Amino acid sequence: MTFQPCFRNAHAQTLVGSLVRALQKPIRGQTIFIETPDEDELPGLWCERPGPLVLVVVHGVGGNHTAREGVSLGRRWLWRGLGQVLLLSLRGAYSPPLRPRLYHGGCSEELDTVYAWARRRAPHSRVVMVGYSLGANIVVKWLAETGHNLDGLAGAVTVSNPWDLQACCEHLEGTWAGRLYRRGMLHTLRRRGLAAAARFPESLCSKSIRRSLTFRDYDNLVTARIHGFADAADYYQKSSSKQFLEGVRSHLVCLDALDDPFLPSGTLPTRAPGCVRFERPQHGGHLGFLGPWGRLWMEDFIVDCAARWY
């Protein structure tokens, strides 16, 4: 399925793609709260439909279960009649957490909880895991850590994976366009960090969070502090999914545009097991992939991949 871009400019793909998906109507479903082993909860939207598969969508940095990419994919999935849909909010992404923890690029253990919940809720359907941006990094890490212990997993698709967290953070700081993207994402992260700090002032400092001007600042002050990393560099090194790719043993398709404005050159992995397939169009931006006349090619690509797995 060859991608024919509507725009060949990476920023146009990124920004217009986001705007087009924002026009999609919400999908109807049940708001659910998945209990975690430490008595926190992961909100989500569950759409019960007959079909052979369960779609689980893991959002990116500024998203949650209402994110436009997930909603757009969920609509296409339901229209194709593939089965149930679970749009997930990671910890602290939709509402303040009940424990002093927040989602980050290495929180793959949360997907153990989500996968087990989906298998209990739809025991006769196989799971398809889809990760967008930072969610893609989490999905790859989770696949490598679980190995062969996923008998109910049909496969996974990742889109616009940052792969090397430190390299991507430095890249976004190095260009004017990158700093614009970073500004919006960091605003959301700070807001969520402040909500957690209000609930857990003994673990997080609101004043320090307000002063964080870069991803590295935020990850030093928040991510590393409450998740046991020595500092931001330690977090990036231990959580970047590029190093975990060789451990993947499930069907995995990695969709990454070569002109993704979030990724520095040389970031994309070059080696992977035989169960992993790289799809790398020349154009597409970051979570863009708009085809002719604004066609949502990314959604069609993911659904077509999943349809081959049952």
Residues β-bridged to residue 243: none
Q: Give me the half-sphere count of Cα atoms (radius 13 Å) on the Cβ side of residue 133.
A: 21
How far from chain centre, in Å, is Cα 24?
A: 19
DSSP characters over 20-86: HHHTSPPPP-EEEEEEPTTS-EEEEEEE---SSEEEEEE--TT--TT-HHHHHHHHHHHHTT-EEEE
Residue 143 to residue 65: CA distance in whole angstroms:
21
Task: Identify the burial level of 302 via C-beta atoms within 10 angstroms of its C-beta, where 0-12 means exposed, 13-18 middle and 19 or more buried.
Answer: buried
Question: Quick one: tokens of 188?
Answer: 């959301």
Q: Which sign does the torsion angle of CA 19, 21, 24, 28 carry? A: negative
When pLDDT is averaged across residues 169-188 and rounded to a whole number, the result is 93
Kindly report the CATH class assigned to 10-171+242-307: alpha beta
pLDDT tens digits, one per residue of 205-259: 999 999 999 999 999 999 999 999 999 999 999 999 999 999 999 999 999 999 9
Task: Give one word for 239, left, alpha or beta, with left for phi > 0 and alpha for psi -120 to 50.
Answer: alpha
| Helix ranges, the chain (H) | 10-22, 68-79, 109-121, 134-146, 165-173, 176-199, 206-211, 215-218, 224-227, 232-239, 297-307
Question: Quick one: tokens of 61?
Answer: 């940095």
Task: Identify the burial level of 39 via C-beta atoms within 10 angstroms of its C-beta, where 0-12 means exposed, 13-18 middle and 19 or more buried.
Answer: exposed
* Residue 300 CB contacts under 8 Å (≥ 6 apart), including other chains: 1, 76
Residue 16: pLDDT above 80?
A: yes
How far from chain centre, in Å, is Cα 233?
A: 21
Closest CA to 154 of 245, 59, 84: 84
Q: Residue 310: which pLDDT band, with cuts at 50, 70 and 90?
A: confident
Residue 147: pLDDT above 80?
A: no
Closest CA to 100 of 203, 240, 230: 203
pLDDT at 150: 85
When pLDDT is averaged across residues 11-40 and rounded to a whole number, the result is 95
Report angle CA 110, 111, 116 to the nearest 5 degrees: 110
pLDDT at 18: 96
Q: Give me the half-sphere count of Cα atoms (radius 13 Å) on the Cβ side of residue 21.
A: 26
When pLDDT is averaged across residues 60-77 and rounded to a whole number, the result is 96
pLDDT tens digits, one per residue of 268-309: 999 999 999 999 999 999 999 999 988 999 999 999 999 999
When pLDDT is averaged across residues 23-37 and rounded to a whole number, the result is 94
pLDDT at 160: 98
